[in-house]
Structure 1
């Protein structure tokens, strides 16, 4: 029985089952804290700790999910293509808002860490907190930050946006699907896209665009902005 609990096939099934259960509970209850990512993370950490299962063992199972995440990103191009004319007609406000969003993400991450008394290396690790993880980690490595801290803050930024981003924007009288999608995708990357997909394809298209442009702009801007921040 103990060997079964450590099998990659069982761990893969458990991961998918917990996520599916959390999704069903959230849909039926509408309870904000039944977020599938948050719920699954907590449950799996408790499970791994309870049965003394190392991360390396769990990674053998998770690599199958990780493999399919990469081609799944291509699917984001579908709503982008369907809304291509509307996006092209708004290229100027889109680029202007993305530039502002990227700079805001960089500056707030670094200065918030400095304000709390963090060391320079930790502050640098927060510069790309709003970018999707693969890009964020490479940005952090290029400026001398700590990739592990970046990975954690990226997840936190995504969770915050997924849990309360949509309601915060609505409370701030933001009602346009394009504005909502761009904001969620820029600030909360893939998790922002997940929230947008629950609302509409149009919102998801703009969220995907926000994720892409923010990743590219942040990668270009971080080396230029960091020297001015006196980190």
Structure 2
């Protein structure tokens, strides 16, 4: 009789199993999300990460082995980021009418994200590559990883920080904006996209179509501005 551990070892050498595991983990997370009535704390991305993390830990599988199999999902982040131009184009009229408030919000949100992260980390004694990895954590993953590499950071750490930022933002955004009494879906969506990139944008789309469109706009514009601000602000802390 063939040993089960030997079969598992053989299967994990192929790329398909980890790609399949990633998709199934997200489907399971999304099922839980729907069963809880789309509760913010049951974010499907967060649940999928917990499932995959538990699977890797339980099987003793190195992350590098997992990533080799699931990297097709990572590759799709690039085309998905390019597609962010679509909501910007479709809402060009709204953007023109609200250009000044959006520019002000973009500058405030992007600058706050970069400066606060670096200032807190620097005050706690963080230096070097780790500090550089923090600078772009509020930009969408493909952009943030590219910025981190250019700044001498650690792309893997940046990717983890981007995910944490997005998940926390997606969980906190709805109750926080409700508490602030903010009812304009354009403002709610734009703020979410600037602060919580792709994960927050996905959450905004689930809540309201207009909010989702403006979240996509905010995420795209913040990615561009972060690429400009992150090197400048990081230089002040070095």
Structure 1 equivalent of residue 100 of structure 2: 92
Distance 1:64 1:99 in 2: 33
Whether 1:16 and 2:9 are equivalent positions in the alignment is no
Map of 2:3 onto structure 1? none
Matched, 1:82 2:90: yes
Once residues 73 and 138 of structure 1 are traced to their aligned partners in structure 2, the CA distance between those partners, rounded to angstroms, is: 13
What's the CA shift for 1:6?
4.9
User: Which deviates further from its counterpart, 22-31 or 60-69?
Assistant: 60-69
TM-score (normalizing by structure 2): 0.87
Q: Tell me: CA distance 1:86–1:60, structure 2 relative to 1, closer, same or farther (3 Å).
A: same
Gaps of 5+ in 1: none
Residue 122 of structure 1 pairs with residue 120 of structure 2: no
**Corresponding residue pairs, total:** 230
SS at 1:118 equivalent: coil
The residue that corresponds to 1:158 in the other structure is 166
Q: Distance in 2 between matches of 1:179 and 1:145?
A: 32
TM-score, structure 1 as length reference: 0.89
- Which residue among 138, 141, 151 is the counterpart of 1:133? 141
1:209 lines up with 2:217 in the alignment: yes
Q: Does 1:224 align with 2:232?
A: yes
CA distance in 1, matches of 2:220, 2:174: 19
Pairwise CA distance, 1:75: 4.1
- Rounded to whole Å, the distance in 2 between the matches of 1:161 and 1:129 is 12
Match of 1:145 among 134, 142, 153: 153
Shift of 1:207: 0.7
Which blocks of at least 5 consecutive residues in structure 2 are unaligned?
1-6
204-213 or 81-90, larger mean C-alpha shift: 81-90
Residues 16-66 of structure 1 deviation map (CA, whole Å, 9 limit, x = unaligned): 122112111111213443221111111112212222323333223312323
1: CA distance between counterparts of 2:107 and 2:81? 23
1:181–1:204: 8 Å Cα contact kept in structure 2? yes
- Structure 1 runs of 4+ with >6 Å offset: none
Please give the alpha-carbon distance, in whole angstroms, between the structure 2 residues aligned to 1:65 and 1:141. Answer: 20
